[in-house]
Structure 1
């Protein structure tokens, strides 16, 4: 039986995923007979406590973004449960789910593509308030001005359009839009990966400050483990739709247990030149989620793989307090 690691201290989770699967293709879609079924998220379970910042990391194609989109119903899960405040929201019809949309918001990776270029910044942010029927017209204007000040742009940005702003400024607009309806939970999907390195730290620090001041719960999707180390309380490592390792930040970065996590961490640049570190190179590319390897999905790139790895789907086992890893090679953990 897979062990689900809950937040530290036994805190009551705000969000719980149980055996979540999100598949694409199969019996629907164009050229479905040739395309096959994409197992983007394949039997994932974890908890996030209220006020916690959890990093979700892995290579491109690991299923990170699909998990975030599944939670907010931007894509429809195939099966499994998504508990929010104890209610399974996965099977809810759109009308019943509407009340939860205000509680959960999304910060998109590409700040320009996610903003309507035909609308002013004020109109973009006001739209969310109007959809949820929050406040009078005057109150909405005041709220938008407050949000723009909060994200460091100023109220005068209301009358301008997205193309008039830099990438970092557009991401601040996206953050303001996500905060407009006073959500409890935010999915931040690679919010700095499309930005210049010079402004990435500013946006990460802004998210951190807002999370602290507003008491937000955040699922921070990223491939940059250095950013995750700075921002997150716990880390979930994914590969090809499955969870490989879950751990508190300090435990994961000081003593990773899964071979995949070790490889990812070995690629982080360190400023201390005296600190020797072996770089672990993964051979080949991540396999296709249409035809994933049997047994452990990581085995085709793992230097520690043995014959049994092709036959056994590894379960998550406890390797420390609040720390699990899905690997049958307990001798190397």
Structure 2
């Protein structure tokens, strides 16, 4: 294989570079929702974007699709910067880029039958009406584990998990390459969460999808994601292959998130790493490292400089000025 072919194959489907999103607030102040976020998503892989409520992960996901307009940065999709496209040109990319929303109750029009909900997406593709459309709707419903007979029903006739499957079917109707799944299981019961997560995994294998999976719980995406990006107050704290981030987290915030995640084995426990206080306001974020006000390992230098996201080996990156020092033992006990 030539070096040129190898280089092309190694290019990520999506490369996010310095994504920034600010919102105006009262008295001329600024909400720093997302600050200088960078990561890559390889073709056919799943990247988990994880953090507490208020970390900026949902805003980042929506900014990538330009559902909210980014303030700065680049999002190279197959080499094309989505942020530089006109509104008309961006519409042409909507077929390639889709989103599954968090709330399956409010993301579906209650006045429309399932066939019409999915049919709206098919209209965007110029899909013909009639028998072929009905067959395509039935095919999509079957693909997400529902019955073709469900096409004639309204959203209120379904459970939360079934509604989320309808939302997934709608996203798949345009045959996208890339899907942002914005906390798609957070509103569901635990048993239903597992079913929907398994569905995403099955669909990725069958259709070759590329996923950005947004969640607030690291344990939810542990087995689904190839890579993990941990955000706090709009910034990336740590990112890298899942096997490294879960086995040997380097940032104190990642350790704290993992320590609070449930462990299915009752004989094993993670040591507790306390997180005191609440996440600060994005209108007035702390100086230096934004996590320092809650960090159990913060030192005076943490208030002076915003730590860059630096490599620590094996594709693992961390934004912590102490990442080269020996960290406290976080391992399972």
Please report the TM-score for the alignment, with normalisation by the length of structure 1: 0.93
Q: How far apart are the structure 2 equivalents of 1:107 and 1:44?
A: 21
Match of 1:271 among 264, 269, 272: 264
SS of 1:18's equivalent in the other structure is: strand
Alpha-carbon distance in structure 2 between the residues aligned to 1:326 and 1:186: 27
2:18 alignment counterpart? 19
Q: Distance in 1 between matches of 2:284 and 2:9?
A: 37
Alignment of 1:191 with 2:190, yes or no, is no
- For residue 216 of structure 1, the aligned residue among 209, 217, 220 is 209
CA distance in 1, matches of 2:295, 2:207: 42
Offset from partner CA, 1:104-146 (integer Å, 9 cap, x none) = 0000000110000110000000001112313444322211110
Provide the rounded CA distance (Å) in 2 between the counterparts of 1:10 and 1:158.
39
Query: Could you report, residue by residue, the CA deviation over 1:83-123 in whole angstroms, capped at 9, with x for unpaired residues?
Result: 11100011222111011100000000001100001100000
Q: What CA distance in whole angstroms lies between the structure 2 residues aligned with 1:125 and 1:10?
A: 33
* Alignment of 1:290 onto 2:289: no
Equivalent in the alignment of 2:325: 331
Structure 2 residue 126 is matched with structure 1 residue 133:
yes
CA distance in 1, matches of 2:130, 2:217: 41
Among residues 81, 84, 89, which one is paired with 1:88 in the alignment? 81
Of the candidates 3, 23, 27, which is equivalent to residue 33 of structure 1?
Answer: 27
Q: Distance in 1 between matches of 2:94 and 2:191?
A: 33
Provide the aligned length of Structure 1 versus Structure 2: 319
Q: Distance in 2 between matches of 1:216 and 1:224?
A: 22
Gaps of 5+ in 2: 1-7, 328-333
Q: Which residue of 1 aligns with 2:4?
A: none
Q: Measure, in 2, the Cα distance between the counterparts of 1:272 and 1:149.
A: 35
Offset, 1:267: 0.8
Residues 124 and 174, structure 2, Cα contact 8 Å, conserved in 1: no
RMSD: 1.4
Matches within 5 A, 1:152-167: 152-167=145-160
Instruction: After TM superposition, give the deviation of residue 321 of structure 1 in Å.
Output: 0.4
- C-alpha distance in structure 1 between counterparts of 2:269 and 2:24, whole Å: 46
Q: How does 1:301-320 map to 2 (within 5 A)?
A: 301-320=294-313
Greater shift after overlay, 284-293 or 9-18?
Answer: 9-18
DSSP-derived class of the 1:192 partner:
coil
The equivalent position to 1:73 in structure 2, one of 60, 66, 88, is 66
| 1:270-291 CA-partner distances (Å, limit 9, x unpaired) | 1333334211110001100010
For structure 1, list consecutive stretches of 5 or more residues without a partner in the other structure: 1-8, 27-31
Shift of residue 10, structure 1, vs aligned partner: 8.0
